[in-house]
């Protein structure tokens, strides 16, 4: 059984072990213990010291195998991007050109340097150990964050983005970087990726502000614009099922797509419910699978069954109650694990 909970400083070694297999592209979680320790401490402050509204808090969660204590996954939410240090993207624009004189039609794609000072929330830093990847664990790791947002709605912006990992191979090679970035930064892609964690200011200092015409780039560089890494396709599909769509923005270094959604329209937030536990059962009972989070104490989430009782309140299994440290009378927030299929019209 797995739970998702806020990261703690004691999890550093487990996180480092998890990230050993992450390869290139997980920009926000470099394999640097000092950088990770700083981010863990920042996350701990975010959970316990918040202002009245979103102020750029960074909430980092781990997915833990309950009976072994092994860290098998990680994910994060930033309450608001921008502020003191802006975030940088390319904005894609397409223009249609047509000449009746020579009977030619052509679409031109251009990339415009775009920065965000007062931005939306962001979900990021999602990584699941290869040995534990399946449709259930990946979906649980991704969607559990939305129950946290629902429980703490006032601490998040009204929109949320997800910058998807672009087409970078395991050795850190990016065809887009080779055609664009390296000419302006004079460093290799992994180095630029790493430096952007510490301070993004060099991006604005070195990047030209004129649009880049994508049609002039080599074909392999054009091909990856707006594309996700194959390992990221499942995560992209999950978010699209939740209501996310392409924002028109792509990443600066490797131009993976940036998805966006209105927070209150995200399925797992909009359809989540709150109920009181009136029965904890040691016996199996029929129920669809729900993502369940406790509403008291620090955030803690698990998968399990929930049944509404005729007398009012809800029943959950004993193993779920133990995993979430719940007792009779406690309240839970829960949502269906998968979107319900639309009813077919007769």
Q: DSSP class of residue 321?
A: H
* Alpha-carbon distance values, 69 to 59, 290, 321 (Å): 20, 22, 18
237's CB contacts (< 8 A; 6+ apart) are none
Whole-angstrom distance, CA of residue 66 vs CA of residue 132: 14
* Catalytically annotated residue among 96, 112, 229, 245: 229
Q: Which helix (H) or strand (E) holds 203?
A: helix 201-206
Does the active-site annotation cover 229? Answer: yes
Give the rounded distance of the alpha carbon of 186 from its chain centre: 30
Q: Which helix (H) or strand (E) holds 319?
A: helix 318-324
What residue has token string 């995200």? 266
User: Counting every residue, how long is the chain?
Assistant: 346
Round the CA-based radius of gyration of the chain to a whole number and report it. Answer: 22
State whether residue 34 is helix, strand or coil: helix
List residues with catalytic annotation: 229
């Amino acid at each position: 059984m797995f739970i998702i909970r806020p990261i703690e400083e004691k999890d550093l070694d487990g996180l480092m072990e998890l990230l050993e297999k992450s390869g290139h592209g997980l920009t926000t979680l470099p394999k640097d213990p000092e950088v990770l320790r700083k981010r863990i401490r920042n996350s701990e402050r975010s959970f316990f010291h918040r202002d009245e509204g979103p102020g750029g808090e960074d909430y980092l969660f781990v997915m833990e195998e309950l009976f072994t204590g092994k860290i098998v996954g990680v994910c994060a939410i930033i309450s608001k991007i921008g502020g003191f240090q802006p975030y940088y993207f390319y904005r894609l624009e397409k223009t249609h050109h047509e000449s009746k004189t020579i009977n030619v039609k052509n679409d031109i794609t251009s990339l415009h340097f775009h920065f965000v000072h007062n931005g939306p929330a962001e979900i990021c830093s999602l990584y699941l150990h290869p040995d534990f990847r399946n449709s259930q664990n990946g979906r649980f790791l991704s969607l559990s964050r939305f129950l946290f947002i629902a429980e703490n709605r006032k601490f998040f912006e009204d929109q949320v983005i997800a910058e998807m990992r672009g087409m970078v191979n395991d050795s850190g090679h990016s065809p887009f970087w080779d055609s664009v970035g390296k000419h302006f930064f004079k460093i290799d892609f992994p180095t630029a990726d790493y430096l952007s964690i510490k301070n993004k200011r060099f991006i604005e200092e070195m990047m030209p502000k004129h649009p880049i015409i994508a049609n002039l780039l080599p074909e392999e560089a054009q091909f990856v614009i707006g594309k996700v890494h194959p390992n990221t396709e499942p995560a992209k599909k999950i978010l699209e099922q939740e209501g996310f769509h392409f924002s028109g923005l792509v990443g600066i270094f490797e131009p993976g797509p940036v998805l966006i959604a209105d927070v209150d329209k995200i399925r797992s937030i909009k359809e989540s419910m709150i109920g009181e536990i009136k029965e904890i059962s040691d016996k199996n009972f029929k129920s669809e699978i729900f993502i369940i989070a406790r509403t008291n104490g620090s955030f803690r989430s698990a998968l399990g069954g929930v049944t509404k009782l005729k007398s009012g309140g809800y029943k959950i299994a004993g193993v779920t109650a133990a995993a979430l440290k719940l007792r009779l009378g406690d309240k839970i927030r829960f949502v269906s694990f998968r979107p319900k299929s639309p009813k077919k019209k007769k």
